[in-house]
Structure 1
């Protein structure tokens, strides 16, 4: 097997468009391109409409909107399992896709004769094979993790729901999405490995019966043949950080005020693998000159623990903590500080003199005095000059040109950038800024057991069985929101307040809405999808009805 090439038959260059309403077009070429195109950006290059991607997009939208019972998508560890109704009503296509390796197993299940036939992709010698739509349907949850693909998908979905016909915009949107997927597959960002000219590795009856081909989390639809299996909960090791284990050898002795600025972690804090890893890396390289790690990026959804992680680093490293929250209209004075008029109170004359005094920003104070600075949401900044100042400050021997003169980066200064991903108002993190990062972490929900421990410690609610079910619901909602292109987030904050509400006598199901679901979305269709995710993937409302 090998990676998909640019001339692979799966792209359908030699075949006409068959998916309605695009089948009416005389040409597949469209003057547009994704951000991954060498031409770069919407409308600057040439893209090709790809029939299999168009069909998979339409099928995914059908599953999202529950318009027809055409199949289902489910997860099991690093695999995505898909059922899709074939053209023949007696045929169910089944595919098992590993999103890490790109390996695919598939079959055409003949329900009438109970036979598992090979799934053959069309090729140069056999134009009667399958076009491969089920492959891209299985990949859709991974495809939509990209901010451009997600934005285009949502716009196209809304557009066709309103107009349901072809025009220049809908064609351009679909062509851009096709180009996005095509180029990410060629780059290897989206893994897809198939062998040209031969059937995909076959799924056998034994694979289904023995539940090797199965799912643990239902994302969309309803499976007819593939079975759900109970997920084996992973046991994680209890992690600890001993007092002083990662305390840095600072270049100066901290003042009493600076010591008071070191974060004291609450009793509810639980050490994670990411926390230990970052602390270990910083400590290990602290005195290694150019290899010193002092610029950290934490990127993830709201509620994933980015700010809590920054505070934990302050506590573990022994550095005073401060922060700045960026905003769209941020200008140079917000970074450099300001010169402001001050009345000279020492002057005994009735006419008091006005003097001008420089007041440093929080950034400058941390930069010059050697604090741990959390820079929240630099992705919202619009002024390029502000980003240039930050770029300069994050250099290992960085400097900032202040109104009072040039200042150098303190050797103890640590910058922790925390930013959301794919949120409205956020831009991709500036490439120059990202290049200055020495350690980056993708922040997702913590491990299940860590979530349980934190929720119990935070709220004092010690019903471990019920808290475990609430955690499972939060995880199911988080995965469902991602898979269904719902922009809201189910995170630790929602979990804490949900547990607290239940502790104080609130109804489990009712409180789920105003503590969790309505924080994600208030769209009725999306609420229904999220409700089904909890019903189908947890036992929360099976064994807790009597507790209302």
Structure 2
């Protein structure tokens, strides 16, 4: 038996008028009459018991429907089904907010007490009576939306409501019978739900000891906000305004963290124009960074989708330096941590006497003898010059090989992890060995520490933001190691921009004010991209970058068709026949007059 119906819950105080009727009828809270039992009560020895938390919840819902109770009930509707049933329920120790997913039986919630949000208390003798849960299940049983509506419960519930509102007065016996049926109905549908099938109320009972907490961030973003309100007025789960596309300038004051940096890092803070448009996906990441501990994100999508631009926008909005580390097929674990470079400062010319140009011109053989110690006799100038160069090269090679003088320098990733910053790790899907990125797992974990080759322990700054960008669908891209994916707080699969969005960005970046012309060019680029995808042309690209280059070339030449040759068509395919088809199918028919 779940905590909702344990013995102690049955001993709680009944609400009036049911308490009065029970007292006047001898104090019995259990009935063996068949009319008082739910249709789901299929045992041979039938009995139904009044459940105080259920009756308190029923009365609270009736008050809400009448417009004079505190709280609210509604749901969040998806495209074809209800995402969540939502209720707010007022109790003496605060207001409770719950959302219920009927597909998996999970309940999430919080309690607002003295203006402070906290997790729901467990259903127990020293915790909650469970009224808020029964209010939720009563509401979804009487609401005709989705498959949770229950005709038996709704019929008796509305009989009780009609009686209390004076519309259809029942006798005390009839009213108490309705109460028995409602209590028995919810009890059977919850407790025997797994065996009942249709009519069951799925509930993951382990949650009753501690329901998942709806954090302030999730409230703010409206993840669980109802979009259909049946009764009352939501205060805690109230729908928040949806994010809308805005400009970078509008976001600076909202998200800037006010950090100060030395000049060398201050120059690394991006300086994009304030009029740059910021999409809702990027705003979602910024909101998570400033309201939660989330610091690890992945942006996946085709080239030109704006992944790098968005990572710069994130850095600029936060006021952080923007670091970039680009991966390739041969990227190894070591290169993620350090760069091994020649020590140029240690390279010195050998302290030897070298023949001068004058010596060489006067007597080539003597110049060679001075360097090698062997006089070659008659020697042509060209041959002498080759021997001198060969000797110098060999001496330099032997010196470098003997000294092996290299220095180890921290990688860009490690530099970024030492301070509040945004580090964009580009093209991570190009690494041929998927396990390579696991070298960074220690930095991505809660401990945020890893060791360098010299034994130094590096600790990631808690405000370092890591953004992985990848083109997952391109040739040469590899699969990710699952341990890396699991550490990402958010993975956004970016779709290519629409023709309208590409045109807007191109107009902003190039200054071309002929929007209709640019929009037409964007449509052509989009059509060519679809052609490449459909025909699976390898070694060709056509996206936003090609559009922008086309616009720049058009501004310079004034000829749309001619400017497309080397900016769009030439990059679309390495094969002449494909380029010819693209030109004749997607360029010339649209710009015949210009041609």
Q: TM-score, normalised by structure 1?
A: 0.48
Higher helix proportion, which one? 2
Q: TM-score, normalised by structure 2?
A: 0.45
Q: Which has the higher contact order (CA 8 A, sep 6+)?
A: 1
